[in-house]
Structure 1
Amino acid sequence: RTFCEFLDKLLAPLSLLTCPCVLLAKENKLLSKDGFLMYMHHPEALVLNPDHREVYQDMDQPLNHYFISSSHNTYLMEDQLQGPSSTEAYVRALLKGCRCVELDCWDGSEGEPEIYHGYTLTSKILFKDAIKAIKEYAFKTSDYPVILSLENHCSVEQQEVMAHHMSSILGSDLVTSPLGDGMPKCFPSPEELKGKFLIKGKRLNKLEATFAPDNTEDEEEDVTEEEESDDEDQEQEKKKEKKKLKLAKALSDMVVYCKSVHFHGFEDARQHLSFYEMSSFKENKALELAAESANAYIHHNVEKLSRIYPAGSRTNSSNYSPVPLWSAGCQVVALNFQTTCTDMDVNQGRFLINGKSGYVLKPAYMRDPASEFDPVTLTRGDWLQHKTLHIMVISGQQLPKLSKKKSSIVDPLVRVEVYGVPDDNAEAKTSAIDNNGFNPEWNENMEFNVHVPELALVRFTVEDHDSATSNEFVGQYTLPFNSLRMGYRHVPLLNKNGDVLPSAGLFVYIMVTDAN
Structure 2
Amino acid sequence: MSPAEVKTFLEDINVEVNDEYIKFLFEKCDQSKTGLLEGKEIKDLYDVLTDREEISVIYAAYAKTGGLMSAANLLDFLVLEQKEKVDLTYASQLIEKYEVDETAKAKQLMTEDGFLVFLHQPESLIMSPARKSVYQDMSQPLNHYFISSSHNTYLLKDQLKGPSSTEGYVRALIKGCRCVELDVWDGSDGEPVIYHGYTLTSKILFKDVIRAIKEYAFKTSEYPVILSLETHCSVDQQKLMATHMCSILGSALITKPLGESMPTALPCPESKKLKLAKELSDLAIYCKSVKFRGFEHARNSQSFYEMSSFKEWDAEDFAEKSANEYIHHNVDKLSRIYPSGAIRTNSSNYNPVPLWNVGCQIVALNFQTPCTEMDLNQGLFTQNGQSGYVLKPAYLREKESEFDPITLIRGPWLKHIEFHVMVISAQQLPKVSKKSLSIVDPLVRVEIHGVPADVSKKETQCVQNNGFNPMWNENFHFDIYVPELALVRFIVEDHDSVSSNDFIGQYTAPFTSLQNGYRHVPLYNQDGDLLSSARLFVHLMAVDAE
TM-score, L = length of structure 2: 0.83
**Cα separation, 2, equivalents of 1:167 and 1:41:** 47
Structure 2 contact 184–232 (Cα < 8 Å) conserved: yes
1:113/1:480 CA distance change after superposition, 3 Å = same
Question: Which residue does 2:337 correspond to in 1?
Answer: 308
Structure 1 contact 68–360 (Cα < 8 Å) conserved: yes
Structure 1 segment 362-373 matched on structure 2, within 5 A: 362-373=392-403
Question: Which residue does 2:48 correspond to in 1?
Answer: none
**Offset, 1:97:** 0.4
**Offset, 1:182:** 2.0
Q: Give the counterpart letter for 2:184 in structure 1.
A: C
Q: Give the counterpart letter for 1:287 in structure 2.
A: E
**Cα separation, 2, equivalents of 1:88 and 1:489:** 35
SS in 1 for 2:109: coil
**Offset, 1:193:** 6.0
Question: Which residue does 2:350 correspond to in 1?
Answer: 320
**Offset, 1:8:** 1.1
1:499/1:423 CA distance change after superposition, 3 Å = same
CA offsets, 1:395-447, max 9 Å, x none?
Answer: 11111111222212110000000000011000000000000111111110001
**Cα separation, 2, equivalents of 1:58 and 1:159:** 37
Q: Give the counterpart letter for 1:264 in structure 2.
A: R
Question: Which residue does 1:276 correspond to in 2?
Answer: 305
Question: Which residue does 1:450 correspond to in 2?
Answer: 480
Question: Which residue does 1:124 correspond to in 2?
Answer: 203
SS in 2 for 1:458: strand
1:193/1:65 CA distance change after superposition, 3 Å = farther
**Offset, 1:33:** 1.1
Q: Give the counterpart letter for 2:244 in structure 1.
A: H
Question: Which residue does 1:3 correspond to in 2?
Answer: 91
Q: Of the candidates 246, 250, 255, which is equivalent to residue 284 of structure 2?
A: 255
How many aligned positions are there? 457
Structure 2 contact 184–230 (Cα < 8 Å) conserved: yes
Q: Of the candidates 416, 433, 449, which is equivalent to residue 403 of structure 1?
A: 433
Structure 2 contact 516–542 (Cα < 8 Å) conserved: yes
Structure 1 segment 463-502 matched on structure 2, within 5 A: 463-502=493-532
Structure 2 contact 94–118 (Cα < 8 Å) conserved: no
Question: Which residue does 1:332 correspond to in 2?
Answer: 362
CA offsets, 1:233-253, max 9 Å, x none?
Answer: xxxxxxxxxxxxxxxxxxx22
Question: Which residue does 2:192 correspond to in 1?
Answer: 113
CA offsets, 1:303-336, max 9 Å, x none?
Answer: 1000000011200000011000000100000000
Structure 1 contact 143–195 (Cα < 8 Å) conserved: no
SS in 1 for 2:189: helix
**Cα separation, 2, equivalents of 1:191 and 1:356:** 15
Structure 1 contact 139–195 (Cα < 8 Å) conserved: no
Question: Which residue does 1:38 correspond to in 2?
Answer: 117
Structure 1 contact 145–193 (Cα < 8 Å) conserved: no
SS in 2 for 1:369: coil
Question: Which residue does 1:47 correspond to in 2?
Answer: 126
Q: Give the counterpart letter for 2:459 in structure 1.
A: K
**Cα separation, 1, equivalents of 2:95 and 2:171:** 37
**Cα separation, 1, equivalents of 2:272 and 2:315:** 28
Q: Give the counterpart letter for 1:504 in structure 2.
A: A
2:327 matched to 1:298?
yes
Question: Which residue does 1:357 correspond to in 2?
Answer: 387
Q: Give the counterpart letter for 1:4 in structure 2.
A: S
Q: Of the candidates 82, 86, 110, which is equivalent to residue 161 of structure 2?
A: 82
Question: Which residue does 1:172 correspond to in 2?
Answer: 251
Question: Which residue does 2:142 correspond to in 1?
Answer: 63
CA offsets, 1:437-476, max 9 Å, x none?
Answer: 1111111000111100000000000000011111100000
SS in 2 for 1:35: helix
Kindly report structure 1 stretches of 4+ aligned residues shifted beyond 4 Å: none
Q: Of the candidates 396, 408, 412, which is equivalent to residue 378 of structure 1?
A: 408
Question: Which residue does 2:34 correspond to in 1?
Answer: none
**Cα separation, 2, equivalents of 1:151 and 1:379:** 40
**Offset, 1:7:** 2.1
CA offsets, 1:33-86, max 9 Å, x none?
Answer: 110110111111000000011000000011110000000000001000010000
Q: Give the counterpart letter for 1:367 in structure 2.
A: R
**Cα separation, 1, equivalents of 2:417 and 2:90:** 32
**Offset, 1:299:** 0.2
Q: Of the candidates 411, 423, 430, which is equivalent to residue 460 of structure 2?
A: 430
Q: Give the counterpart letter for 1:278 in structure 2.
A: M
**Cα separation, 2, equivalents of 1:452 and 1:81:** 40
Larger radius of gyration: 2
TM-score, L = length of structure 1: 0.87
**Offset, 1:200:** 2.6
Give the aligned CA root-mean-square deviation in angstroms: 0.9
CA offsets, 1:117-166, max 9 Å, x none?
Answer: 00100000000000000000000000000000000100100000000000
2:418 matched to 1:388?
yes
**Offset, 1:355:** 0.3
**Cα separation, 2, equivalents of 1:2 and 1:255:** 51
